[in-house]
Structure 1
Amino acid sequence: MTVLAVHRPPFAFEPQVAWLPEGLSLLEMVGRMRGLPEDFSERGIICINGHPVPRAAWALVRPKAQANGRPVEVTFHAAPMGGGRDGKNVFAVVASFALMAATGWIAAGGLKTAGGLFAAGSPSATLLAAGVSYAGSLLLSSLVSTPMARQQQRKTRNPGDAGAAGNLLEANAPVPRVVGEMKVFPPLAAEPLVYFDGPDEVVEAAFVLAGPHRIEDIRVGTAAIGTLSGVDYEVREGWPGDSRISLLRRQARTEALQTELRGHQVGDDGLTLDSATGDTASALPQAVAFATRDAPDEHWLHLVFPGGLHRNGDDGLALRVPLRLRMRRLGTENWIELPELHFQGSDVRQMRSTIRLIWADDATTSPGASPGEGWVHARVTAPGQTVAPASDDWAAHPYFAGAGDPWLDAGNIGGTGVRHVIMSRYEARIMLDPAVFPKGRYQIEIRRGAAFRASTFSAAGYTVDGSVWDFWGVRGTPGKIVYNRNGVMDTLQLVRSVSVWNEHPLPTDALAIVAVRARNRNLESLSCRAGGYVRDWNGYAWADWTVTDNPAPHLRAIWTGAQNLDPVPADIIDDDDLVQWRAACDDLGYRCNAIFDGQTVMEAAEIVAGCGYAKPRMSERWGVARDLDRSAEAPVQIFTPRNSSGFEWTKAFPRLPHGFRVSFSDAERDHDTRQIMVMRPGYSDDSGLVEQVRYAGLVTEAEVRKRAKYDLAQADMRGVYYTLSAPAEAIVCRRGDLVGVVHDTLSAQAGAGRVMDVALDGGNVAAIRLDNPVPVSNEPDLLAVTDMLAVTDMRAIGRRTGAAIRRTTGTVTVHAVAGGTGETDVLEFDPPIPAAGIAEDVLVAVGDLGREMLRAVVFAVEPRADFMASLTLVDEGKELWA
């Protein structure tokens, strides 16, 4: 079986069709398809039944000839390409996926008639689909882009209560970019690093935006960051060559365990082991297991005694809690015992501490221990309990044992044989040599023992009151623990397991960064006012970096800027067009202030262009098709039955909404989301049929109301679509251009012909002779009629004829025609008109004076065979600008 493959080369009128063997990958099809550009593999788009396939998957996707009983069509699209119907309107294809099923069915031709009305993809079908979702249909059928926001889902995950609230970017997720200037809540570039520094809790976090931004008014919640104590911050705007952030130098992944290291369960006497199930083993201290990430440089365990460590609040009675840790590389069976650690305290306040496992090439340390509170004792061997039930001797890995005492505390610093351990009030560090313990992913277990009175412990003999105790077991029958728990507060929690790498968390200078280090403070809802820098027009080039809300420089930056991984070549950008649009946006107050977060290049371009009442035009030259008040403009081209054929018009009668409920980011309310109602004329806010829309890029009520009224009015002012076929002279117009149409289906007074001869009067044209007669009227107005009974057609009173002349200079001029009423091939002008550009074969169209032609705007141009083109037009809609 074979697969249908279609490609229309640029500037060609006929598509190239090939039937390729089933089983080929899309990448193999590219090699077999004729006429594809040389750089198609880098710039081209392949669609299967209209759905784009990611370039990375071309080698993996092998289309079948049929799917679900329908033929499969593979189409090859080479950029740059413009759009219209028949699948070439890329934006219409993309936008249609977001509409409801009924909308898609109608637009696909579900209501097609025998005469072609509502045919698949036609403007009439698109407009009819608006009865299901008018706001959605504007994405498809509006002359210009609409800045209605699509639903986006940033690839983020909630980091939990880690000291810095905010969205955390996943790997390969897009970084937000600001167009114009907005209040923004930048995402976290990486997990915040939270750690204990002495008695304090510190958080380090980096918030980022894509590309250079001006960053001002940084706030944590509602407070300006500069007014907060214990907070340091550093800002980079994101320029190439910016120095690295110096405030942050490492990155981490945190597992918030929030689990209790449970001790012995005892009865009311505070000594005897007690289990609700009768299972003695379950009443003993239980290990907590977790794992590091892959090959960290350090791994931290954050421990907290939430109620302190004491007995009945007696600050003169110090208690100790012993802990044993062991680890093994994932996938191995043998455990590595780490030194036993003792934490001591006599305080009712919350006590925080950290155990750090540090992989270092130089793992030698100078031994140290806290003299009174905190990490006071470490050891590498311990004798077993001899009293029943007896326990085995215990030993740490030989790496930690050297010559000297098998324990380390403040009293034997010079004689200890414990190696690679250093302790202080708040921290116990265990140094690991990668040659002995290779970096990798390790499973770790930690288990606490029973608390005991520090003054009764002998380090030399590992005894309490002269006897060896198993701090993780019991003595006797029934089993009892070493120290009575009544009145003892020794609850211990393992709150976090943190893998740390000594690598800069922000290795690139292509990000705007707000780096923050805060002590004992939660960085909740960090925001700033950010403006994306963009190259603006300086009168000669797009060169001056500035923050502006004019849409034109941002559209150009979307196409050609560094944030586009596949930028459009600058030499195909229609800079003259963009410069004119930029000036118009300044004059008319069109602005764009938006945050782009996950939109495609096309979606971002649509929003920016829509804010400036334009639509991206991507053809042989990339620019914009604008919608504007054209009432003072002359058409660029005239189409009559003499230079066109197949003229028809279609009009749908959809059920339109009475108004929009519009959501937008209100700049006057600190960019909080606000909703307003915008109703069509004649309807009030309590009308029933209202559609919900969200405008992106518009941040004031005035511009939102203006845009919503424009969008609602389009169905009334541009509800008719006209189509015609024209020869190669149609090339002078493109989407957004004003043209004139003269046809007898529009007016009985319409006529057209070509100039055969010209009569001059002193250098000006007094009359022209056409190659066929046309209707001319010069009737007296109502005040000049002396006998109303003699008037046979009341509509003809005051009727005069005007002639539209398409001169050889390319301009179209309109002039009143003199002479009597009737059909004639000679048109007289009184006074004579300028002769420039009036010559033989010039096209002339006539109609009622002031309404000589239908003024329409080009909606789409599609090439056809034999250098013909099919044009779709919409009404000029000058009422939109009234």
Structure 2
Amino acid sequence: MTIVAIHRDPMAMSPISVRRHSQPMTLSEMAADMQLTADFARRGQICINGHAVPHGVWPMVRPKPRGAVPIEVTFHAPAMGGGGDGKNVFATIAAIALTVATGFIAANGIGFLGIAGGTTAATLAAAGVSALGSMLISALIPPPSLQQRDGNTRALGTASATGNVLEPNGAVPRVVGTRKIYPPLASEPFVYFDGEDEVVEAVFILAGPHKLEGLRVDGARIEDLSGVVHETREGWPGDARLSLIRRQSRTEQIGGELRGHVVSGDNGSLLESSSGDLADALPMPRTAATREAPDEQQLQIAFTAGLHLDGGDEKIRVPFRLRLRRFGEETWRNLPELHFQGASVRGVRSTIRFRWVDDASSPSDATATDGWVEARIASPAQAGGSAWQADPYFDAAAGGADYLSTSTNSVTDVKGVVLSRYEAQIMLSRGEFPPGIYEFEITRGYAFRNAQYSAGAYTLNGSVRDFWGYQGDASSPSIAQTRDRLADTVQLVRSVSIWEEHPLPTDDFAAIAVIARNQELDDVSVLASGYVQDWDGTAWSDWVTTSNPAPHLRDIIGGMLSAKAVHPDLVDNAALVAWRDACAVEGYTCNAILEDLTVADAARIVGAAGYGQLGMSEKWGVVRDYDRSGETPVQVFTPREASGFSWSRAFADLPDGFRVTFVDRDRDYAQRQLMVYRDGRPGGLVEQVTYEGLVTEAEVRERVAYDFANARRRGTSYSLTASAEAVACRRGSLVGVQHDMLTRQAGQGRVLDWELNEDGEVVALTLDDSVPVLSEPFMDEVPNLAAVLDLSVLGARTGLVLRRTDGTMSTHEVASSTGKATRLELLEPTGEAGIDADILAVVGRKASELRRMIVFSIEPRDELTFDLTLVDEAPEIWAA
């Protein structure tokens, strides 16, 4: 089966252009093959079997012939004008785009389009709207689902603390209700060497105040881990700042070897270059750069196999030369030459620290006989070579020794250096080295035996040696110390920029600070409950943790975390409190993690969990969906008050079930998939949906039942244009509608007069127009059924709805005889309160005088008129 592509220029008399494709092509490729007009990619339209495909997915849709199903791809000029067809095409496009973004349908036998993701193609092929998509477009209370979003976080590499590090201006998550969460890192973790240990400092945060419980690392209680200390803050304004961690850092993982001399495998002192260039056999420098103006820079190194000669205890030295330059400058400045000494078969860790200080006048000091044992500002030249000199900044020029060690502490000319077993510190004056971005270069020399070395003369076995060069001529270059049986491999592990700044710019975060020694902080989790102000009977003032959606919805629009909080006077507290109480009675809860969401998306997740939605009119409140069976409509619309009444019916092809992804509280908040079938019976058509905020199987099943019932019972939408009386309604209001398009017996009028009995009660009313009245006998009261023209009216009675002056509605049975009438007698008298001239009277068959509907939307128009869209009340949705 081939794919047929069809196009004809709408303004030309040329024949139809037809292409037959046996190999799969994307819609974009087909369009290019058709040689269409220049603006087609921007304004044209492509349809598959008559159904429009959105422009954005043309490069991704690749129809594939499969089986005997024909595929026609047609290319159309853009639809012009504003007729009904244009609206239908727009709705189709919107629905397809929404389906691509939010869900997929897996169906047997509907797979003849080949698209990445597979089952989405079935939806595109039929140009159908998924059940989830339909609900997102047209449901009164859309499901608690979100479109997929690309993360905006930076994943760490192989650090000792892993997680998501917030980017600048990144979104900080907020917990609604209670959830297990893996909080993001406020800044990169700081990993450093402390003696023989590796330590990590990390700060994790949440937005706003949270109750923090059950802190765990890789599933283990943090209190049970040795070498781990932590500190928490709930995040209240005015809280004392974290004291455990007061600095932040940025790490570049390097993990590369500081390569020394390359020697022959047969002769451990003879240099050998595979390229033939002797320079390739010499030590290779490595460069690392700081971030902007750090207070300290660390180069962390490790002797991965230890430092020893044939496993013995003879001390071995490795010299290092370093230099730096400010970013953008050409000239390097030499730092003191450093010597590291040891005799260890275990791995050795160490750090070179560069600290920017205001005063670098404190004396240099060397305290170790192992580790960093020597720093030099001058080294004499090997025969035929050149002498080496550090930058004059490090030379006190007092006539003392040109090196620092434990034996020269009091007489050395080396300044700004402190040596210890595990650290070499070099002090950089901010006046001499202005803060900024710097490049550091480090090069190792070849290792040698300490016993053969003289620091004062800078000699090895009595001769000055260039530990970064070689001796002899180029035909037989060698080093003085053989590398045979020598373990001296050095790795530059990390380059770390450090700022002495608190990791949190404000105290308005719930924070967890952790310092772990020789521990990897993977999967740090906490059971967090967001604090929110709850209703205390008079105001939203009590700070509590609660899963009731109402306080959290109010917090989203008017809480302290809102970027532009709604003024309290503009919040509909009555509606929110009523919803709060209803959620408490019905057991509706929301337990969600809100991160990087718009206010609308966050409100939708929280609202939908309580079968509500953020409502905006003259005040910000909530639109609820609930069983209104016992309520009276707030307004009535008839042809007297409304015009342009129309209705449309969507015949949705509902899936047989939902495959729901949700976070299950009973499984320690692990993600779970649950199959829920529409009628309790498995079927072949299944749609994927993710529910946010629902954390129990019971909540999920209840929501799926609601969504399916909503799709079945509210598939019809009604439209009308109403007068200023529509201001009595809001989205979600219960209204009554009567129109002859809905029922055969429909009548309306305005009250002209009324009659009272001796008790002052109303017994009859006169209207300004005649209305149909039915008062037919019951079937058992008819002697000859064959004489009855319409059996459907047997037993029919007429009901009358009065909209009284106070806005309330009252319903009464009419006692008048069958026919057209302006005077209506009431079967039972009613009180006169609220009855006055010109009040609305609506007549219809008893118990169905009005079609009860819910306002879906209200749009203002000119001259104080409003366009209303309505859906059926559908009390069956709430039937057990």
Of 564-573 and 848-857, more deviation after overlay is shown by 564-573
Counterpart of 1:612 in structure 2 is: 610
Tell me what 2:826 maps to. 829
Q: Distance in 1 between matches of 2:769 and 2:41?
A: 57
2:747 alignment partner AA? G
Paired residue for 1:744?
Answer: 740
Contact 1:152/1:598, CA 8 A, preserved across alignment: no
List aligned pairs for 1:313-324, cutoff 5 A: 313-315=311-313, 317-324=314-321
Q: State yes or no: 1:471 paired with 2:467.
A: yes
Q: Which runs of 5+ in 2 are unaligned?
A: 1-38, 44-54, 62-73, 100-127
* Match of residue 263 from structure 2: 266
Q: Which residue of 2 aligns with 1:865?
A: 862
* 2:248 corresponds to 1:251: yes
1:121 positional shift: 7.3
- The secondary structure found in structure 2 opposite 1:527 is strand
Question: Cα distance 1:396–1:122, how it changes in 2: closer, same or farther (>3 A)?
Answer: closer
Cα-to-partner distance string for 1:289-335 (whole Å, 9 max, x where unaligned): 121112111111101001100111112x1111000001111121221
Cα distance change of structure 1 residues 627 and 98 upon mapping to structure 2, 3 Å threshold: farther
2:725 and 2:478 map into 1 onto residues whose CA distance is 103
Match of 1:814 among 811, 814, 817: 811
In the alignment, the residues of structure 2 paired with residue 98 and residue 212 of structure 1 have an alpha-carbon distance, to the nearest angstrom, of 42
State the partner residue of 1:143.
Answer: 140
- Distance in 2 of aligned mates of 1:278 and 1:398: 37
Q: 1:455 to 1:101 in 2, by over 3 A?
A: closer
Match of 1:545 in 2: 543
CA distance in 2 between partners of 1:603 and 1:141 (Å)? 16
Match of 2:702 among 703, 706, 724: 706
Cα distance 1:523–1:491, how it changes in 2: closer, same or farther (>3 A)? same
The aligned residue for residue 555 of structure 1 is 553
2:554 corresponds to which letter in structure 1?
A: R
Q: CA separation in 2, counterparts of 1:553 and 1:214? A: 16
Equivalent residues in 2 for 1:338-377, closer than 5 Å: 338-377=335-374
Q: In structure 2, which of residues 502, 520, 523 is the aligned counterpart of residue 522 of structure 1?
A: 520
Q: Cα gap change, 1:415/1:117 in structure 2, threshold over 3 Å: closer, same or farther?
A: closer
How far did 1:599 drift? 0.4
Match of 2:393 among 385, 389, 399: 399
Q: What does residue 733 of structure 1 align with?
A: 729
CA displacement 1:836-856 (0-9 Å, x = unmatched): 212221211121211111111
Displacement of 1:830 after TM fit? 2.4
Q: Is the 8 A contact 2:95 2:129 kept in 1?
A: no
Using the TM superposition, give the Cα deviation of residue 112 of structure 1 relative to its aligned residue in structure 2, in angstroms: 10
Change (3 A) 1:508 1:171: same
Distance 2:783 2:56 in 1: 65
Q: CA deviation at 1:822?
A: 2.2
**Deviating more after overlay: 391-400 vs 652-661:** 652-661
1:436 corresponds to which residue?
432
- 1:714 is paired with a residue of what secondary structure? helix
Q: Match of 2:669?
A: 671
Compute the displacement of 1:198 (Å). 0.8
Cα distance change, pair 572–829 in 1 and its aligned pair in 2 (3 A):
same
Q: Which runs of structure 2 are paired with 1:153-164 in the superposition (5 Å)? A: 153-164=150-161
Alpha-carbon spacing, 1:110–1:140, altered in 2? closer, same or farther (3 Å): farther
Q: Closer, same or farther in 2 for the Cα pair 1:793/1:123, shift >3 Å? A: farther
Q: 2:447 is matched with which residue: 443, 451, 461?
A: 451
The SS at the match of 1:606 is: helix
TM-score, normalising length: structure 2: 0.85
1:487 to 476, 485, 488: 485
Assess, with a 3 A threshold, how the Cα gap between structure 1 residues 243 and 632 changes in structure 2: closer, same or farther: same
Aligned partner of 2:629: which letter? S
Distance 1:128 1:345 in 2: 66
Distance in 2 separating the partners of 1:118 and 1:880: 30
Q: Residues 507-537 of structure 1: CA distance to partner in whole angstroms, max 9, x if unpaired?
A: 2111110011111111001110111111111
Give the 3-state SS of the residue equivalent to 2:628 in structure 1: coil
Q: Distance in 2 between matches of 1:110 and 1:248?
A: 63
Do residues 282 (structure 1) and 280 (structure 2) align?
A: yes
2:458 alignment partner in structure 1: 462
Report what 1:424 is aligned to: 420
Q: Equivalences for 1:619-768 in 2 at 5 Å?
A: 619-681=617-679, 683-684=681-682, 687-761=683-757, 762-768=759-765
RMSD (Å), alpha carbons? 2.7
Counterpart in the other structure of 1:781: 778
**How many residues are matched?**
783
Q: Which of 528, 531, 550 does residue 529 from structure 2 map onto?
A: 531
Deviation by residue 1:745-776 (Cα, 9 ceiling, x = unmatched) = 21111111121221222122212122222222
The answer on whether the counterparts of 1:194 and 1:201 sit within 8 Å (CA) in structure 2 is yes
Secondary structure, counterpart of 2:211 in structure 1:
strand
Q: Which runs of structure 2 are paired with 1:54-65 in the superposition (5 Å)?
A: none
Equivalent-residue separation in structure 1 for 2:163 and 2:731 (angstroms): 44
- CA drift at 1:271: 1.0
The offset of 1:124, in angstroms, is: 13
In structure 2, C-alpha distance between the alignment counterparts of 1:125 and 1:286, rounded to whole Å: 60
From the superposition, tell whether residues 229 and 325 of structure 1 become closer, same or farther in structure 2 (CA, over 3 Å).
Answer: same
Q: Secondary structure at the match of 1:364?
A: coil
Determine the C-alpha separation between the residues in 1 that align with 2:92 and 2:463.
Answer: 94
Q: 1:721 to 1:179 in 2, by over 3 A?
A: same
1:570 aligned to which of 561, 568, 584:
568
Specify the SS of the correspondent of 1:867: coil
Q: Residues 617 and 730 of structure 2 are in contact (CA less than 8 Å); yes or no, is this contact kept in structure 1?
A: no
Q: Cα distance 1:264–1:100, how it changes in 2: closer, same or farther (>3 A)?
A: closer
Farther off after superposition, 431-440 or 375-384: 431-440
Contact kept? 1:113, 1:119, Cα under 8 Å? no
> Do the aligned residues in 1 keep the contact of 2:657 with 2:687 (CA within 8 Å)?
yes
**Match for residue 289 of structure 2?**
291
Equivalent residue of 1:865, what SS?
coil
> Is the CA contact 2:553–2:603 (under 8 Å) kept in the aligned structure 1?
yes
Distance between the aligned counterparts of 1:680 and 1:751, measured in 2?
40
The 1:769/1:658 distance shift into structure 2, 3 A limit, reads same
Q: Which residue of 1 aligns with 2:104?
A: none
Q: Distance in 2 between matches of 1:385 and 1:742?
A: 107
> Deviations along 1:398-444, whole A, 9 cap, x unmatched?
22223311112122222222211111110111111122222221111
Counterpart CA distance in 1 for 2:86 and 2:810 is: 34
- Residues 98-113 of structure 1: matches in 2 within 5 Å? none
- In structure 2, the CA distance between the partners of 1:190 and 1:486, relative to structure 1 (3 Å rule), is same
1:602 alignment partner, SS class = helix
SS at match of 2:365: coil
| Superposed displacement of residue 151, structure 1 | 1.7
CA contact (8 A) 1:145 1:609 kept: no
Q: Determine if contact 1:668/1:700 at 8 Å carries over to the other structure.
A: yes
CA offsets per residue over residues 39-78 of structure 1, 9 Å max, x none? xxxxxxxxxxxxxxxxxxxxxxxxxxx99988xxxxxxxx
Instruction: Determine the structure 1 residue equivalent to 2:578.
Output: 580
CA distance in 2, matches of 1:121, 1:273: 75
Match runs of 1:489-508 below 5 Å: 489-508=487-506
Distance across 1 between alignment mates of 2:754 and 2:568? 47
